[in-house]
């Protein structure tokens, strides 16, 4: 501010991430976009939320505070699927944990109001977007209210926010009030008790809610209904997801006691020119110079290029479609090549582009071939159960882009690290050859996710035979271009709704028969808003209303995870327990399909011994020191000698009294 001669700023963005001026980071994009329109923007990165003082360091913002938990949901960032604290935070300097609070949107919004009462608070980002309506919260195992009622921002901007944030800033600069923001697409807000009409009684006509966008209004089951009735939760989830197409989505209204949350239709997708304008801004592509430690997430993506956004896959466990939309928004080839040229000018660029892709690697410029149908369509996946006949699946624009990228002066290699959509890739042998010959660094990531047909159906993923044919074609293409040692790295998920021990044993057998030994495995985490999360909470598929098996107990989830890495000696006893529980002891021994031997290996026995030893070496173990006096509890461990039990420590015994 001092170097620019600023005595005030228009907007203070508060983020739970380290500040990186790179187009893969939301604060980098939003800050540059607003700067382009003449707004003065300050970034408050990872502030100490225990006090409002950091929120005052830029002075009173003239327009608003923008609040975001960061590029990830703060709880998914903090905790594993087993609800254990993660050891690192990829979006923090040095990967350190503890630099952002749980549910960061809530304390950040509160501190903004405390710092300068009366300044509008606008929340956004993944955390706020996916919590804009009543939702199931995995970490508390409850249905929570909309984040609008918990964090109390004036509005929530959901989805990708470049358009709406400029509209909000422009309206507030022109003298508009917070209520004037209600007419915008991509926002959610709360109607006060005086603004909410009473619910209809008996056969009375439905309530006529105000329609600010003009696409109609739909009332979904209330918070009280979805919190007490799982069938109502299913109905609400179904309605929400059927109204995600910006061309035909209605405004959604959900009552919360005497108030109501209103969600306007999503913002319209960006045109190619608008995408270019966003990504052509003068990013430094660097973390803020104040950081002395590396930021892991930045190191991973610093030499990557985003060529598109959105995904029409519609996978039920994935939030990308819910956040970015299912309509593909692509940059022009010229814009992408300009970014590559800028990368080659950086001193530390070594000529290797780590990734050229997006949410998926091969959906570039793929859209519905019938715009009139696209505007009416409510299909949640363009590729499941089969690829829609109206979907444009031509890989020619992508192939041309890949060839041009390789020819940029200063670029030695362009890798594809984004996951390849296998069913689409198989439609273009030329793309498979280009990929195998020029863009694979020894291995290629793909995501079949599972092998069992019931689980794949619930995921909206192709049958496992699709992975088999893709692997065959990829191996043939690699051999044809003289690279026979290239291989696939498949990703799989444990404990997804529909998956039980029998399904995971099916997956383990597939892995053994095909020689796959995954180093990294993924446990299903029920993120707010997702269709799979509704299945996890209710045991019902909201789109078909069929019952779905769900393993919720952490012990069962641990067994499912162990089966994916049955080959690790330390998993021996968990795998054996899973096989015995499923009645598959035929897979114990020396047979061709045996997953584990009959006797535990020494490494497994030692691993079990170490786990048992660690379990009894906690602070809660009762010890009497040599002095004979009972130790006083420390402030950080005052729960008594039994773990997880709150209460006052035992009183000191009077030495004069008999024992």
In a domain, 413, yes or no: yes
In a domain, 184, yes or no: yes
Picking from 263, 285, 314, the residue at the C-terminal end of a domain is 263
Tokens coding 304: 């990557």
pLDDT value at residue 651: 47
Q: 618 falls in which pLDDT band (50, 70, 90)?
A: low
Picking from 406, 421, 441, the residue at the C-terminal end of a domain is 441
Range with the poorest average pLDDT among 3-12, 38-47, 211-220: 211-220
pLDDT value at residue 72: 92
DSSP annotation of 22: S
Range with the poorest average pLDDT among 197-206, 360-369, 426-435: 197-206
Residue 391 domain boundaries:
303-441
CATH of the domain at 130: 3.40.50.280
Q: Are residues 44 and 171 in the same domain?
A: yes
Answer yes or no: is pLDDT of 649 > 60. no
Answer yes or no: is pLDDT of 657 > 50. no
Q: 648 falls in which pLDDT band (50, 70, 90)?
A: very low
Average pLDDT of the chain, as a whole number: 91
Report the predicted TM-score, pTM, of the whole model to 2 decimal places: 0.90
Q: What is the pLDDT of residues 462-479, one digit of tens each?
A: 999 999 999 999 999 999
Q: What is the pLDDT of residues 202-222, one digit of tens each?
A: 777 778 887 888 889 999 999
Q: 441 falls in which pLDDT band (50, 70, 90)?
A: confident
Q: What is the pLDDT of residues 527-541, one digit of tens each?
A: 999 999 999 999 999
| Cα 645 to chain centroid, rounded | 33
Answer yes or no: is pLDDT of 655 > 50. no
Q: 60 falls in which pLDDT band (50, 70, 90)?
A: very high
pLDDT value at residue 642: 44
CATH of the domain at 390: 3.30.750.210
Q: Are residues 180 and 323 in the same domain?
A: no
For 218, the 3-state DSSP assignment is strand
Q: 658 falls in which pLDDT band (50, 70, 90)?
A: very low
In a domain, 529, yes or no: no
In a domain, 103, yes or no: yes
Count CA atoms within 13 Å of residue 324 on its CB side: 21
Answer yes or no: is pLDDT of 652 > 80. no
pLDDT value at residue 656: 46
Q: Are residues 333 and 186 in the same domain?
A: no
For 587, the 3-state DSSP assignment is helix
Q: Are residues 162 and 41 in the same domain?
A: yes
Answer yes or no: is pLDDT of 54 > 70. yes
Query: Mean per-residue pLDDT for 163-183?
Result: 96
Query: Mean per-residue pLDDT for 126-136?
Result: 96
pLDDT value at residue 646: 52
Mark 595-619 as b/e (b = at least 16 C-beta within 10 Å).
bbeeebeeebeebeeeeeeeeeeee
- Of the candidates 613, 612, 521, the one whose C-alpha atom is nearest the C-alpha of residue 566 is 521
Q: Provide DSSP, 237-275.
A: HHHHHHT--TTTPPEEEEEETTEEEEEPPPPPPPPHHHH
pLDDT value at residue 632: 52
pLDDT higher at 545 or 637: 545
Query: Mean per-residue pLDDT for 585-589?
Result: 95
In a domain, 28, yes or no: yes
Assign residue 347 a region: left if phi > 0, alpha if psi is -120 to 50, beta otherwise? alpha
**Beta strand 413-414 pairing with 352-353:** parallel
Answer yes or no: is pLDDT of 66 > 60. yes
Answer yes or no: is pLDDT of 634 > 50. no
**Beta strand 355-357 pairing with 304-306:** parallel
Q: What is the pLDDT of residues 481-517, one digit of tens each?
A: 999 999 999 999 999 999 999 999 999 999 999 999 9
Query: Mean per-residue pLDDT for 613-628?
Result: 58
Number of residues that this document lists for the chain: 659
Q: Provide DSSP, 594-623.
A: -SB-SS--HHHHHHHHHHHHHHTSSTTS--
In a domain, 576, yes or no: no
pLDDT value at residue 154: 97
> How many domains, the chain?
2
Query: Mean per-residue pLDDT for 78-105?
Result: 94
In the chain, pLDDT over 70 holds for what percent of residues? Answer: 93
State the helix-helix crossing angle for 572-581 and 554-564, rounded to 10 degrees: 110
Answer yes or no: is pLDDT of 638 > 50. no
Answer yes or no: is pLDDT of 422 > 50. yes
In a domain, 42, yes or no: yes
The dihedral of CA 303, 307, 313, 319: what is its sign?
A: positive
pLDDT value at residue 521: 83
Answer yes or no: is pLDDT of 629 > 70. no
Q: Are residues 183 and 42 in the same domain?
A: yes
Query: Mean per-residue pLDDT for 17-44?
Result: 96
pLDDT value at residue 321: 85
Q: 163 falls in which pLDDT band (50, 70, 90)?
A: very high
In a domain, 616, yes or no: no
Picking from 199, 231, 263, the residue at the C-terminal end of a domain is 263
């Amino acid at each position: 501010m001092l170097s620019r001669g600023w005595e005030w700023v228009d907007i203070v963005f508060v983020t739970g991430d380290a500040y990186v001026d790179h187009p893969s980071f939301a604060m980098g994009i939003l800050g540059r976009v607003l700067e382009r329109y003449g707004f003065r923007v300050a970034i408050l990165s990872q502030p100490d939320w225990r006090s409002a003082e950091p929120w005052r360091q830029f002075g009173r913002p003239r327009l608003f505070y923008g609040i975001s938990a960061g590029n990830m949901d703060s709880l998914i960032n903090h905790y594993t699927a087993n609800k254990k604290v993660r050891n690192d935070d990829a979006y923090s300097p040095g990967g350190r944990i503890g630099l952002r609070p749980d549910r960061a949107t809530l304390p950040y919004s509160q501190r903004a109001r405390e710092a300068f009462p009366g300044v509008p608070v606008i929340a956004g980002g993944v955390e706020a977007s996916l919590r804009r309506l009543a939702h199931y919260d995995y970490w508390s195992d409850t249905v929570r209210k909309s984040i609008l009622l918990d964090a109390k921002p004036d509005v929530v901007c959901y989805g990708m926010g470049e358009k709406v944030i400029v509209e909000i800033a422009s309206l507030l600069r022109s003298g508009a009030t917070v209520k004037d923001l209600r007419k915008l697409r991509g926002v959610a807000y709360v109607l006060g008790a005086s603004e909410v009409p009473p619910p209809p009684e008996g056969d009375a006509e439905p309530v006529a809610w105000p329609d600010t966008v003009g696409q109609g209004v739909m009332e979904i089951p209330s918070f009280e209904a979805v919190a007490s009735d799982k069938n109502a939760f299913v109905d609400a989830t179904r309605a929400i997801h059927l109204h995600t197409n910006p061309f035909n989505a209605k405004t959604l209204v959900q009552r919360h006691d005497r108030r109501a949350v209103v969600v306007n239709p999503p913002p319209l997708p960006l045109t190619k020119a608008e995408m270019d304008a966003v990504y052509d801004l003068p990013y430094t592509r660097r973390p803020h110079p104040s950081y002395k430690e590396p930021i892991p997430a930045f190191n991973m993506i610093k030499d990557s290029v985003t060529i598109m956004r959105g995904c029409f896959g519609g996978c039920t466990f994935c939030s990308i479609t819910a956040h970015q939309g299912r309509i593909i928004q692509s940059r022009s080839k010229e814009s992408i090549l300009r970014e590559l040229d800028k990368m080659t000018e950086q001193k530390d660029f070594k000529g290797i582009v780590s990734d050229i892709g997006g949410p998926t690697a091969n959906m570039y410029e793929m859209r519905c071939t019938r715009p009139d149908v696209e505007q009416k369509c409510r299909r949640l996946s363009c590729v499941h159960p089969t690829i829609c006949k109206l979907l444009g699946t031509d890989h020619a624009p992508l192939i041309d882009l890949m060839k041009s990228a390789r020819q940029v002066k200063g670029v030695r290699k362009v890798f594809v690290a984004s996951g390849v959509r296998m069913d689409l890739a198989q439609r273009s042998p030329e793309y498979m050859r280009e990929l195998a010959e020029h863009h694979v660094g020894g291995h290629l990531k793909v995501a079949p996710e599972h092998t069992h047909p019931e689980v794949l159906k619930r995921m909206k993923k192709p049958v496992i035979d699709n992975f088999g044919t893709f692997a065959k074609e990829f191996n043939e293409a690699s051999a044809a271009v003289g690279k026979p040692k290239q291989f696939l790295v498949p990703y799989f998920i444990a404990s997804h709704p529909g998956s039980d021990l029998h399904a995971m044993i099916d997956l383990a057998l597939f892995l053994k028969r095909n020689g796959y030994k995954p180093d990294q495995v993924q446990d299903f985490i029920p993120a707010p808003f997702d269709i799979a999360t509704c299945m996890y909470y209710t045991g019902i598929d909201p789109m078909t209303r069929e019952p779905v098996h769900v393993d919720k107990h952490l012990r069962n989830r641990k067994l499912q995870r162990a089966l994916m890495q049955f080959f690790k000696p330390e998993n021996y006893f968990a795998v054996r327990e899973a096989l015995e529980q499923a009645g598959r002891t035929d897979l114990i021994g020396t047979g061709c399909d045996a997953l584990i031997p009959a006797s535990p290996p020494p490494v497994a026995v030692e691993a079990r011994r170490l786990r048992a030893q660690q379990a009894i070496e906690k602070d809660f173990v009762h010890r009497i020191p040599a002095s004979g006096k009972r130790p006083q509890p420390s402030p950080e461990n005052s729960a008594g000698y039994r773990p997880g039990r709150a209460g006052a420590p035992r009183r000191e015994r009077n030495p004069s009294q008999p024992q």
